[in-house]
Amino acid sequence: MAARKASAKAPAAKRRAAAPDPYAVGPLGLFQLVDEDGKAVAQVPELPEGLPERFLEAMLFQRALDQRMLNLQRQGRIGFYGTAKGQEGATLGSGAAFAPEDWLFPALREGAVALWRGMALEHYIAQCFGNGADPTHGRQMPCHYSDRGARYVSLSSPIATQVSQAVGAARAMQVRGEGQHVAGAWMGDGATSENDFHAALNFAGVWKAPVVFVCQNNQWAISVPLSMQTASETLAVKAEAYGMPGVRVDGNDVLACYVAVAAAVERARRGEGPTFVECLTYRLGGHSSSDDPTKYRDESEAAIWEKRDPLLRHRAWLTAEGRWDDAREEAFLAESGKRITDAIATVEAAEPVDRATLFTDVWATMPALLADQQRRLDEDLPV
């Protein structure tokens, strides 16, 4: 990670130096506010009251939750899990930049954003158990959340399909004259090779749609490194071909992610069109519970990125600012651990999914042909 030139300069005097502009950094640079040691390298713009603390709490919470869920998978209590370890800064910094009325189209590592926006922890956990406590009736494998209240659109497994859908939602906002709303689409670096990615950016550029694309460039798509995914110098630079600005951000700097994505969201809200934001980060864990990264990547690489952990950096900055201390963290972790434990206990005690839900929600009303199939099953194999 090349340090920005500006970072060499001493932080401006406390009084209202202009906050740095991620757009000015451009698609080849790297927008950063806080460096790996937790030192501000540029003026941190004024943020909503308490937001930086909430970021650290949410990151700590997600790290703890991911570890617990992964443990449940290892114990055979849930079938699968994928953590966001190392990407919490990019995830939460970008996710928090959207308003409650905005529509979010997540990829596979943004579960923390659903929680941030109010999805019940029990529903998050129940989705992974796939039991009767899951509002989606255990129909998808774990980590495929869906929450209407949070405007967090149902995730599917096929990579990148959500990106063009976000553009469609943004277009719908224009059609309805509700352009004050914005759509957000997340994707990984691997997703930038898919058809949907290119179609989506192309349509968004032509329509000047109120959409923000957030790419979590964690540098790996399962076992395929970024260098084999694209010959492009950066991912952000791809945006230029679609007639929109590309911004490249230090994805392990939660504040930088927030500021850059918030600027893009505001730009979209003003009717100035889409932005593509690349958050440069790293997947510290395996791709998922089914993956063993030692087969394809050198662990020395992960070790370098362990030091760039977004959580460590943000904690160091907050602590230096006098806004965080060990006692507060301990208390927070203890309370979070209990919340997670309680939620797991509640969810795990739920009944299995009702067999009848196999047949509902396929069509708006059940057609005769499906009712017949259900009747036949119930005759052959009574519940």
Partner 1 sequence: MPQMTMLQAINDAMHVAMERDPDVVMLGEDIGKKGGVFGATDGLYDKFGALRVMDTPLSECGIIGTAVGMALYGLKPVPEIQFLDFIYPAFDQIVSEMAKMRYRSGGQFTCPMVVRSPSGGGIRGGHYHSQSSEAYFAHTPGLRVVMPSTPADAKGMLLASIFNEDPVIFLEPKALYRHGKQEVQEGWYTTSLDEARRVREGDDVTVVTWGAMVPIVEDAAGTAAENGVACDVIDLRSILPWDYDTVLDSVRKTGRLVVVQEAPRTCGFASEVAATVAEKAIDSLEAPIARVTGFDTPFPYALEHVYKPDKKRVLGAIEFTARWA
Ligand X SMILES: Cc1ncc(C[n+]2csc(CCOP(=O)(O)OP(=O)(O)O)c2C)c(N)n1
Catalytic residue numbers, as ranges: 283, 287, 296
The whole-angstrom separation of Cα 30 and Cα 237 is 12
CA 40 remoteness from chain centre: 24
Task: Give me 178's structure tokens.
Answer: 């509700």
Minimum distance of ligand X from residue 301's CB (angstroms): 14
Residues of this chain, 16-35, that bind partner 1 according to CB under 8 A: none
Confirm or reject binding of residue 287 to ligand X (CB under 6 A): yes
Minimum distance of partner 1 from residue 73's CB (angstroms): 21
The one among 41, 96, 221, 247 contacting Mg ion by CB under 5 A: 221
How many C-beta atoms surround the C-beta of residue 269 within 10 A?
16
The whole-angstrom separation of Cα 40 and Cα 9 is 11
Residue (of 236, 243, 230, 178) closest to 204 by Cα position: 243
The one among 35, 102, 189, 250 contacting ligand X by CB under 6 A: 189
Minimum distance of partner 1 from residue 203's CB (angstroms): 5
Contact status, residue 334 vs residue 64, Cβ threshold 8 Å: no
Task: Give me 52's structure tokens.
Answer: 């930086």
Phi, psi of 319 (to 5 degrees): -65, -45
Confirm or reject binding of residue 230 to partner 1 (CB under 8 A): no
Contact status, residue 150 vs residue 114, Cβ threshold 8 Å: yes
Contact status, residue 300 vs residue 306, Cβ threshold 8 Å: no
In the bound state, the residue with its beta carbon closest to Mg ion is 188
Minimum distance of ligand X from residue 254's CB (angstroms): 17
Cβ distance to ligand X smaller for residue 118 or 225:
225
| Binding pattern for the stretch 175-214 against partner 1, x by CB under 8 A and - elsewhere | xx------x-----------xx--xx-xx--x--------
| Binding pattern for the stretch 324-363 against partner 1, x by CB under 8 A and - elsewhere | ------------------------------------xxxx
Name the site residues for Mg ion (rule: CB under 5 A): 188-189, 218, 221
